[in-house]
Amino acid sequence: MTRFAAISTFNRGGLELYGRRMVRSFHEHWPREVSLRVYSEGWDALDCFGPEIVDLASASPWLDAFKARNRHKRFHNFRWDAVRFSHKAAAVCHAARAIDADVLIWLDGDTFTHSPVAIADLDALAPVGDEWISWLDRASMYPECGFYMLNRRHENHHGLISAFEAMYVDDALYGLSEYHDSYVLQQVVEHAGAVSKSLSGPGRATTHPLINGPLGQWFDHLKGTRKREQRSRPSRPQGPTAGKILAMKEIRGIWFPDGDTHFAAQLAQNPLIDGRGTYQLRKFQAALPHVKFRGHAVDVGAHVGLWSRVMALAFEKVTAFEPLAEHVACFERNIQAPHVELHPVALAEKAGELRFAADAVNSGNAAVSDSGETVRALTLDSFRLKGIDLIKIDVEGFEVPVISGGEKTLKREKPAVIVEQKPNGSAERYGRGATDAVELLRSWGAEVVWEIGGDFLLVWK
């Protein structure tokens, strides 16, 4: 019988936020024959039964030296934050040599097991023969490495682990295009010509193959705000169009609903970034000098991802909200980045349901109405978002209910706010004045920095 061993690591904050839950779910649903080792990052005990705990710094002496050398390096976003992901690499490299098992399984600390896993299931997933790694590859980017399996009986196992470790010990990863562990591991595998086994299934075409592929029947991966929500959402359209093929068309490298004729002219007026179209780029660029940090941007009324895509180039994390199924489908085709989190819901003053009337010619004009697609509505406050540096709100006149439902968040986080307030009657249909959203923010202590084409930028006094 194949012998399996699983490992993970997390810091003290992770222990409190998701670590204990991960361990409990492992012991509830995994076979007893599979051991679990957790590498500790600065904590001493885990108050739930069973895992072996190993101090990561003691197990991997090179880790502290790597962090000390590189902790002051500046990075654009998480993809170049080598120090942040070095703990995971150190844990894998140590366990891959020290644990006597046939197959070593890596589990991210924010992975949750929700259904029973059998030895037969693991056998079907494991790399065999000349396969060294089973992982969650993606069609257009590096693999999702929240779960993978290493064949410790592979003839070049120790050579591959040594090559992975050398990326950190010798700082060689700084010669790569990206510095996070998923990309570094991919480069090691590809450079060595190691054989991999895909576990992605249909999820390979999505940004989140763990929950959208075969592994979703057992696991959830609580990345980003999903750690607090305690669940993920599959990357599939919801609502009345679920299960149907949604017609799209491509304009300057961006996917839109097929009937849209408005955005071709709009994208033609804006420059390309990475060979693809942009929208309202001048406003985004004008806001950046007034944003103190580039950590977390929020896009409310994300449409097909035009703002979110550009935000993702400048911020470490993007949280987007877009309720309409055909827009969600386009968004997910336009943006495949693990630091972008899309919530397929509307935001409002209170939770419930709303109806949206679509505009077939200008898909950006979809608005809350008495008829149309029924969508779920939540408040911004209910997401408990932290560290927000910039929020853009463009919801076709429904800005006041969105802002009212986010009063606690906005007053606590004090992000720079871009809010649409065009004098076109859109706010008036909800009984609001054209600039009521701006006045509400001003009453809370924000002040207007500029107005460009009906969009206002506000910062806090």
Residue 41 counted as domain residue = yes
Do 56 and 150 sit in the same domain of this protein?
Answer: yes
Residue 280 falls inside a structural domain = yes
| CATH number of the domain residue 50 falls in | 3.90.550.10
Which helix H or strand E contains 332, and what residues bound it?
Answer: helix 325-334
User: Does residue 328 belong to any structural domain of this protein?
Assistant: yes
pLDDT in tens, the chain (461 residues): 899 999 999 988 788 778 888 999 999 999 999 999 999 998 877 655 567 999 999 999 999 999 999 988 876 667 888 999 999 999 999 999 999 999 999 999 989 899 999 999 999 999 999 999 999 999 878 999 999 999 999 999 999 999 999 999 999 999 998 999 999 999 999 999 999 999 999 888 887 899 889 999 999 876 544 444 444 444 443 333 344 446 889 999 999 999 999 999 999 999 988 888 999 999 999 999 999 899 999 999 999 999 999 999 899 899 999 999 999 999 988 998 888 999 999 999 999 999 999 888 999 999 999 988 899 999 999 999 999 999 999 999 999 999 999 999 999 999 999 999 988 888 888 989 889 999 999 999 999 999 999 999 999 98
* Short-list 430, 323, 341, CA closest to 385: 341
Alpha carbon distances (Å) from 215 to 22, 212, 234: 16, 8, 12
Q: Both 58 and 132 in a single domain?
A: yes
The residue among 182, 199, 229 that closes a domain is 229
Q: Is 327 a member of any domain? A: yes
Residue 333 domain-assigned (yes or no): yes
pLDDT at 228: 41
Beta strands in 222-347 (DSSP E): 248-251, 254-257, 296-300, 317-321, 340-343, 346-347
Paired residues of 197 in beta bridges: 134
C-alpha span between 114 and 287 (Å, rounded)? 43
pLDDT of residue 246: 63
How distant, in Å, are the alpha carbons of 229, 230, 234, 394 from that of 353? 19, 22, 20, 19
Residue 322 and residue 299: Cα distance in Å, rounded? 9
Q: Measured between alpha carbons, how far is 316 from 312 in angstroms, rounded to an integer?
A: 7
> In this structure, what are the phi and psi dihedrals at residue 112, rounded to the nearest 5 degrees?
-125, 130
341 with 252, same domain: the answer is yes
Does 291 lie in the same domain as 206? no
Domain limit, last residue, from 181, 207, 229: 229
- 234 located within any domain: no
Q: Measure the CA–CA gap between 308 and 236, rounded to whole angstroms.
A: 19
Last residue of a domain, one of 229, 255, 286: 229
Residue 85 sits at the vertex; the CA angle it makes with 83 and 95, to the nearest 5 degrees, is 115
CATH number for the domain that contains residue 397: 3.40.50.150
Residues 208 and 353 in one domain: no
Q: Are residues 262 and 359 in the same domain?
A: yes
Q: Are residues 189 and 269 located together in one domain of the fold?
A: no
Which H or E run contains 390?
Answer: strand 388-393
Determine contact, residues 52/38, Cβ cutoff 8 Å.
yes
- Same domain as 256, residue 209: no
Q: Is residue 94 part of a domain?
A: yes
- pLDDT computed for residue 360 by the predictor: 84
**Torsion angle defined by CA atoms of residues 221, 127, 32 and 58, in that order, rounded to the nearest 10 degrees:** -70
Q: How many CB atoms lie within 10 A of CB 202?
A: 11
Residues 139 and 284 placed together within one structural domain of the fold: no
Q: List Cβ neighbours of 72 (8 Å cut-off, separation of 6 or more).
A: none
Q: Structurally, how many domains does the chain consist of?
A: 2
In a shared domain, residues 158 and 254: no
| CB neighbour list of residue 442: distance below 8 Å, 6 or more residues apart | 448, 458
The runs of H, that is alpha helices, within 75-156 are 82-98, 119-125
State the residue range of the domain holding 142: 4-229
The pLDDT score that the predictor gives to residue 48 is 57
Taking the C-alpha atoms of residue 185 and residue 4, their distance in angstroms, rounded to an integer, is 21
State whether 123 and 268 are in the same domain. no
Residues 52 and 200 in one domain: yes
- Give residue 49's pLDDT: 53
**Cβ–Cβ < 8 Å for 6, 34:** yes
Contact between residue 209 and residue 138 where contact means Cβ atoms under 8 Å apart: yes
Q: For residue 118, is it within any domain? A: yes
